Structures are given as C-alpha cells and as structure tokens.
C-alpha cells in the first residue's frame, strides 16, 4: 500500500510517519511537507534512510504539484495532517490558516477524487482534526462526535471548514473518508511556541513562563504517541464516513499544569524545590480564549479498543527528558525567524 502522509515533518506527523514506517515495512510511506517554520526533518533522522520511506517537499495548496505526485506515485490512501496549527498565529494572520487548512485540504480532496475516480472504494482519505471545532465547554460536559460545531478562533474556524469539506466530498462524490478530532497533544518534537514545550524551554533558560489570563483555562492532554496509535487504529479499523474523537481523559487547569511542570523541572535540573515556580508570569489573555476542552473518547475506546497507554506523569517526565537531551534540536528551532516571532509576541503583551 502507498500512503501519502501530509505534514509528516511536524510534531504529530513525525510520530505518525515513524510509527507507519517501522510497524508496516510492506507499506510505502510518502511524507509530503512544505517545511514551514514548524516542519523539521531533524524529527525523522532515525528513519530517513528506510527503504519504505520517501520525503516530498511541497505545498498542499499547489494544485499542479499535488496532481503531479498523485500521477507519479498513485497513492492508495492519504493521512492528512499538514496545517497551520497555532491558535496565537491564527489571531495575527488568519489568511495563512485559510490558505493551508481550507484551500490546501480542498485541493487534496479534489486531486484524490479525480485520481481515484475509477476505483474510488479501494482508497481512503483520512483527515486529522481537532477538538477545537466544537468550541468551548463550561464546567460540565464533554465533546462527543455529535456535539455541534462552534469554532471560535481563526484556527478552529479553518479546521472546522476543512472538516465540513471532507464530509461534503464523502456525501457528494462518494470519496471514502474518515475523520478524527483530538485534544491537546504533548511530547517530543513539539514546537516551543505551544504551552508545554515553551514552558520547558523557558524554565530551562530561566526566562518568564507566560500564563495567559489567570491560568484557569482547561485542556485535555494526550501523549503524542497515543494519538499516533489512535490514528493507526482508525486508519485500519475505523468505519468509512465516520468521525472519532480522541482524548486523554486528562484535564488540567493551565496553572496547575505549569506548577507541576516547574516541579518536575526543579527535580531534573537539580534546582531547589519551588525555584522554577518563581518564573510563572501572568500575561495578557489570548483574544477569545476558549475556557475548557474535554473529550469523550468512548466511541473509539468501545468500538475500536483504543486506550491511552501513557499516564500524564510518565508522559511529562519523558517529554522533559527529551527536551533536556535534545538541546541541539531546541537551539535550532529557537533561532532565526522563530526567535523574532517569539520576541514580537512578548512585546505585544
Ligand atoms: P505542526 O504545526 O507541528 O506541523 C504541521 C506540519 O504541516 C509542519 O511540518 C508544516 O511544515 C506542514 N505544513 C504546513 N503548511 C503546509 C503546506 N501548505 N503544505 C505542506 N505542508 C505544510 O502541527 P501538529 O501539532 O503536528 O498538528 C498536525 C495536525 O494535527 C494538524 O492538522 C492539527 O490541526 C491537528 N491537531 C493537532 C493537535 C495538537 O495538539 N498539536 C491536536 C489535535 C489535532
Ligand atoms: O485542542 C487541540 C489543539 O491544541 C490543537 O488543535 C492545536 O493545534 C494545538 O496548538 C492546541 O491548541 P491550544 O491553543 O490549546 O494549545 P497551546 O499550547 O497554544 O495553549 C494551551 C493552553 O495554554 C491554552 O489555554 C493557552 C495557554 N497558554 C498558551 C501559551 C502558548 C498560556 O497560558 N501561555 C502560553 O504561552
């Protein structure tokens, strides 16, 4: 089987690519990535010479390029992760999110539909999405697959739009699709603009750890390898046309999470207990900041037998160890363009 994985040089995509390349030596895995600031081939050095792996540098919005690779490689399936993924960036530059997340997705759907027209049923388009499409929860309740869409940031609006297009291609053209909507991931290769890797980077370097608002927003955290395992399960066992919610059953208030991370870092860095907590700095809140996300993953658990395998304590410890051991990776991604974006964000607060 030939599988096109888009966004495979990014955070989650790199774990999905590695899982598929190593677990399925008889599959040919093609990783298509534009290598934006978030894409990094250093995430894949351990598998880059595998016989069943090919990297393709390209942009999912480039119709001629996408058509060309579908003609050349004749993919059986697509797992689509490529996206602009950071909410704060979507507030500064919404159009970049429309181009990649909406137009890029429709471009892939269109090309797949044309190339697979003669034997549509033998193919699969699997779209990776987010729980943010469901909006924001109050103190009670969980997002289920039936929760009405209510995206509230430019990022989640662009992902919701892409989800609707994927379903529209299923209903209108019979394109075989699957979707999954996942909660917040954390783990190795996570770009240090997102809360957990940013906090690790800042604590390590004795810089302020920015907490938006009062730090009482809640997220449901899942170790990235458990997301990759869920994607593997849904790709192979999920029903066509269906959506599966993926979550960690692991809700944390941002401030509590950051305090715990500070304590883990104190221990690993040999600092005095409580030292890193002094770096916690309350900053201006994110515009339109969603209060709470929490996923009901019972459909995936009951129908397909998936369960998270890594506890939050284990996952956080492994994640911190990875960042402390991979200082070159961290130094590389925190230099150049990223550094200037980061400094600019700080100035705005
Ligand atoms: P990421 O930002 O780390 O990686 C995105 C990848 O897509 C990068 O390698 C980037 O170079 C590539 N890319 C961006 N624009 C492209 C384009 N126009 N053409 C080709 N490649 C392009 O993102 P991530 O956190 O790994 O998220 C991957 C997917 O999972 C996204 O669709 C995101 O919406 C979804 N998701 C993420 C989370 C999370 O917590 N990070 C949770 C649920 C769902
Ligand atoms: O829920 C899934 C989503 O999770 C994914 O679809 C997104 O791609 C991913 O980026 C993530 O979105 P969040 O906005 O929840 O993640 P982020 O790490 O940016 O923020 C997590 C929480 O921490 C959120 O409430 C905002 C807050 N925060 C974030 C940063 C970067 C801070 O308090 N300080 C910060 O510096």
Residue 335 has what pLDDT? Answer: 84
As assigned by CATH, the class of the 2-184+224-250+293-310 domain is alpha beta
Judge whether 223 counts as a catalytic residue.
no
Q: Give the Cβ contact number of residue 77 at 10 Å.
A: 20
Residue 345 has what pLDDT? Answer: 62
Determine the Cα–Cα distance for residues 57 and 35; give it in Å rounded to an integer.
Answer: 7
E strand or H helix that includes residue 115: helix 105-115
Residue nearest to atom 16 of ligand 2 (CA): 194
User: CA of 225: how far to CAs of 5, 234, 261, 318, in Å?
Assistant: 16, 14, 19, 12
Cβ atoms of 199 and 209 closer than 8 Å: yes
Q: Which region, left, alpha or beta, applies to residue 274 given φ > 0 means left and ψ of -120 to 50 means alpha?
A: left
Determine the Cα–Cα distance for residues 346 and 348; give it in Å rounded to an integer.
Answer: 5
Among 6, 9, 15, 36, which residue has the most ligand 1 atoms within 8 Å of its CB, making it the best to mutate?
36
Judge whether 132 counts as a catalytic residue.
yes
Atom of ligand 1 nearest to the CA of 86: 2
192 alpha carbon to ligand 2 midpoint, in Å?
11
Residue 231 has what pLDDT? Answer: 99
Residue whose entry in the numeric block shows the structure tokens 């995206």: 151
Q: Which region, left, alpha or beta, applies to residue 135 given φ > 0 means left and ψ of -120 to 50 means alpha?
A: left
Atom of ligand 1 nearest to the CA of 104: 18
Residue nearest to atom 3 of ligand 2 (CA): 184
Q: Is the pTM of this model over 0.85?
A: yes
Determine the Cα–Cα distance for residues 278 and 73; give it in Å rounded to an integer.
Answer: 54
Residue nearest to atom 4 of ligand 2 (CA): 184
Residue 248 has what pLDDT? Answer: 86
pLDDT in tens, the chain (349 residues): 999 999 999 999 999 999 999 999 999 999 999 999 999 999 999 999 999 999 999 999 999 999 999 999 999 999 999 999 999 999 999 999 999 999 999 999 999 999 999 999 999 999 999 999 999 999 999 999 999 999 999 999 999 999 999 999 999 999 999 999 999 999 999 999 999 999 999 999 999 999 999 999 999 999 999 999 999 999 999 999 999 999 988 999 999 999 999 999 999 999 999 999 999 999 999 999 999 999 999 999 999 999 999 999 999 999 999 999 999 999 999 886 665 565 566 555 5
Determine the Cα–Cα distance for residues 13 and 16; give it in Å rounded to an integer.
Answer: 5
Strands 251-253 and 218-223, bridge-based pairing:
antiparallel
Structural domain spans, the chain: 2-184+224-250+293-310
Among 83, 87, 192, which residue has the most ligand 2 atoms within 8 Å of its CB, making it the best to mutate?
87
DSSP conformation class of 137:
-
- Given the residues 132, 163, 220, 290, select the one marked as catalytic: 132
């Amino acid at each position: 089987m030939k599988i096109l994985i888009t966004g495979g040089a990014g955070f989650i995509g790199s774990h999905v690519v590695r899982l598929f390349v190593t677990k399925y030596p008889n599959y040919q895995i093609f990783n298509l990535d534009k290598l934006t600031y978030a894409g990094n081939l250093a995430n894949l050095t351990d598998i880059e010479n595998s016989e069943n792996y090919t990297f393709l540098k390209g942009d999912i919005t480039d119709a001629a390029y996408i058509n060309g690779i579908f003609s050349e490689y004749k993919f059986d399936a697509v797992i689509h992760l490529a996206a602009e993924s950071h909410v704060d960036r979507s507030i500064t530059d919404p159009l970049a999110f429309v181009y990649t997340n909406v137009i890029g997705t429709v471009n892939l759907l269109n090309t797949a539909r044309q190339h697979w027209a003669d034997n549509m049923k033998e193919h699969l388009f699997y779209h990776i999405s987010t729980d943010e499409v469901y909006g924001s929860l109050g103190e009670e309740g969980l997002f289920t697959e039936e929760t009405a869409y209510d995206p509230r940031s430019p990022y989640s609006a662009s992902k919701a739009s892409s989800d609707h297009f994927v379903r529209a291609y299923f209903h209108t053209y019979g394109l075989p699709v699957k979707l999954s909507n996942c909660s917040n991931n954390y783990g190795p290769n996570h770009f240090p603009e997102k809360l957990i890797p940013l906090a690790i980077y800042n604590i390590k370097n004795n810089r302020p750890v920015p907490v938006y608002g009062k730090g009482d927003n809640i997220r449901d955290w899942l170790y990235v390898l458990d997301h990759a395992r869920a994607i593997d399960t849904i790709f192979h066992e999920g029903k066509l046309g269906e959506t599966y919610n993926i979550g960690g059953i692991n809700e944390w208030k941002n401030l509590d999470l950051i305090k715990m991370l500070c304590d883990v870092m104190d221990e690993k860095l040999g600092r005095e207990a409580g030292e890193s907590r002094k770096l916690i700095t309350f900053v201006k809140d994110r515009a339109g900041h969603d209060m709470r996300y929490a996923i009901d993953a019972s459909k995936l658990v009951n129908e397909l037998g998936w369960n998270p395998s890594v506890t939050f304590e284990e996952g956080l410890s492994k994640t911190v160890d990875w960042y402390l051991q991979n200082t070159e990776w961290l130094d590389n991604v925190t230099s150049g363009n990223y550094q200037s974006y980061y400094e600019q964000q700080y100035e705005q607060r």
